[in-house]
């Protein structure tokens, strides 16, 4: 009985995960070509899961940098260092570019909505 429920839940989880991954991939692709229409569609549908996934995707450069930096410092120096270098500047520049791009198009969507 429990195995049957777990099997059904896992199948359902796989289907939902596949659907969300498809929409995330499609939305990222469409953000490159049609950012206004893509963000407007997500905003109009009030699709909170896609808004959350796109936000996490936009923050990925910063998250990856922090994790990689922690691992590198612990492996090489056996402690965390508070000094940053050129890699930090590159990661910050990429992060700012992504956030400015998404912010600009989101403001366009919100302006037209009024």
Express each pLDDT in 8-58 by its tens digit.
Answer: 999 999 999 998 899 888 888 988 888 898 888 888 888 888 888 888 888
pTM confidence score: 0.69
Domain ranges, residue 58: 2-113
Q: Which of 97, 17, 90 is nearest to 59 (CA)?
A: 97
* C-alpha to C-alpha distance for 24 and 19, rounded to whole angstroms: 9
> CB-based contacts of 57: which residues, under 8 Å, 6+ apart?
24, 28
Measure CA 37 to chain center: 18
Express each pLDDT in 61-96 by its tens digit.
Answer: 888 888 888 888 888 888 877 777 787 788 888 888
Q: How many domains does the chain have?
A: 1
């Amino acid at each position: 009985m429990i195995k049957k429920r777990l099997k059904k839940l896992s199948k359902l989880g796989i289907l939902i995960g596949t659907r969300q991954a498809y929409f995330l991939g499609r939305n990222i692709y469409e953000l490159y070509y049609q950012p206004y229409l893509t963000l407007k569609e997500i905003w109009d549908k009030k699709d909170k899961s896609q808004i959350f996934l796109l936000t996490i995707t936009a923050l990925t450069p910063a998250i990856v940098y922090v994790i990689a930096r922690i691992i590198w410092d612990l492996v090489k120096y056996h402690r965390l260092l508070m000094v940053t270098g050129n890699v930090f500047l590159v990661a910050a520049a990429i992060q700012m570019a992504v956030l400015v791009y998404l912010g600009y198009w989101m403001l366009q969507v919100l302006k037209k909505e009024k």
